[in-house]
Homo-oligomer: A and B are copies of this chain.
Amino acid sequence: MGKLVIVGTVAFDEIETPFGKTDKILGGAGTFIGLAASQFDVDSAIVSIVGDDLPQEYLDLLSNKGIDLNGLEIVKGGKTFYWKGKYHNDLNSRDTLVTELNTLADFNPVVPDNYTNADVVMLGNLHPAVQLSVINQMTERPKLIVLDTMNFWMDSALDDLKEVIKHIDVITINDEEARQLTEEYSLVKAAQEIHKMGPKFVVIKKGEHGALLFHNENVFFAPALPLEEVFDPTGAGDTFAGGFTGYLAATGDISFENMKRAVIHGSNLASFCVERFGTVRMESLTKDEVHERLHQFKALTQFEIELK
């Protein structure tokens, strides 16, 4: 069993989609990553910060999935990071209506002692300086460091972002962000440019259009499962990252062949995440359901052509 340390927000989300709206519910990159990774045989810990306004039941939910919360700081009298957003009709774009950093503004992540030797580090979307500080706390070079980021940090903290990117093995980034970071429209060229910045592996997420894994001259593609209805895309990218790193930590194999499987597992879990609001679907997800949908992924993508 591998050890996975996850750094990312545990948050209140308030979401409106064409299908309805929520009150404040459990969200955050760390939450979605942790829930997805918990589908695998892995010891995981979330490093994050919340206020004491976060309901105990949310913490229990994560603990009950076997996630170590010793690295989750609870600030007495503090308020938890809060994001409110509204999706457009096509669900491919959204407006952020409210962002309250609250306790996150003063987040100094502390990796629990028994996780400073983790096999895999998953750096969820946060200020790149925070991500770097986590890397620096590791007492042994992890087998794999994976980083997720977004355009916000390219606009506001590009130098910090470029610095942390030097120290990681895998970056997960969406197509528009890859283009912004590299000023290359072609995703093949963008991946080549990102390789030069440090990461040996580049995962470009294309939302409903799937995900590409690049490693030097090798490319692998996993589609998103075509669904009758996408209900709420919130957390899909983080769920992908959680499935990806959870599988790699559980198997301990970071070959390209195994990373292909990790991309499939990540896509598979993300296909569940979007079926309900927030974390609802991931909370109840069973191994049998996951397994059955992997069969669908195989049917969707596998073919036989005789080649010399």
A24 located at the interface, meaning its Cβ lies under 8 Å from any Cβ of chain B in the complex = no
**A264→B302 CA distance, assembly (Å):** 11
B300/A229 in contact, CB under 8 A: no
25 A-B contacts, Cβ less than 8 Å apart?
Answer: A89-B185, A90-B185, A186-B227, A186-B228, A186-B229, A186-B230, A188-B227, A189-B228, A209-B210, A210-B223, A212-B226, A219-B299, A219-B300, A220-B300, A220-B303, A221-B223, A221-B301, A223-B223, A257-B303, A260-B303, A261-B303, A264-B303, A264-B305, A301-B302, A302-B303
Q: Which of A218, A221, A304 has most chain B Cβ within 10 Å? A: A221
- A307 in the interface, Cβ–Cβ < 8 Å? yes
Structural contact, A305 and B300, CB atoms closer than 8 A: no
Closest approach, in angstroms, between the C-beta of A306 and any C-beta of chain B?
A: 9
Which residues of chain B come closer than 8 Å to A25, judged between CB atoms? none
Chain A: residues with Cβ within 8 Å of the partner, total of 38
CB within 8 Å of B: which of A232-279? 257, 260-261, 264
Give the residues in chain B near A229, CB-CB below 8 Å.
186, 189
Q: Is A69 positioned at the interface, with any CB of B under 8 Å from its CB? A: no
Residues on A lying within 8 angstroms of B by beta carbon are: 89-90, 185-189, 206, 209-210, 212, 218-221, 223, 226-230, 257, 260-261, 264, 291, 294-295, 298-305, 307-308
Q: Whole-angstrom distance between the alpha carbons of A305 and B290 in the complex?
A: 13
Residue pair B300, A302 in contact (C-beta under 8 Å): no
The answer to whether B308 touches A187 (Cβ under 8 A) is no
Complex CA–CA separation, A228 to B184 (angstroms) = 10
Judging by beta carbons under 8 Å apart, are B226 and A221 in contact?
yes
Task: Report Cα–Cα, A36/B188, bound state, in Å.
Answer: 25
Contact of A261 among B90, B210, B227, B304 (CB under 8 A): B304
For A212, list chain B residues within 8 Å (CB): 226
Bound-state CA distance A62–B218 (Å) is 36
Q: How far is the CA of A260 from the CA of B303 in the complex (A)?
A: 7
Q: How far is the CB of A194 from chain B (nearest CB, A)?
A: 14
**Extra A-B contacts (14), CB below 8 Å, given A221-B301, A298-B305:** A89-B185, A188-B227, A210-B223, A218-B299, A219-B226, A219-B300, A220-B299, A221-B226, A260-B303, A264-B305, A291-B307, A291-B308, A301-B301, A301-B302
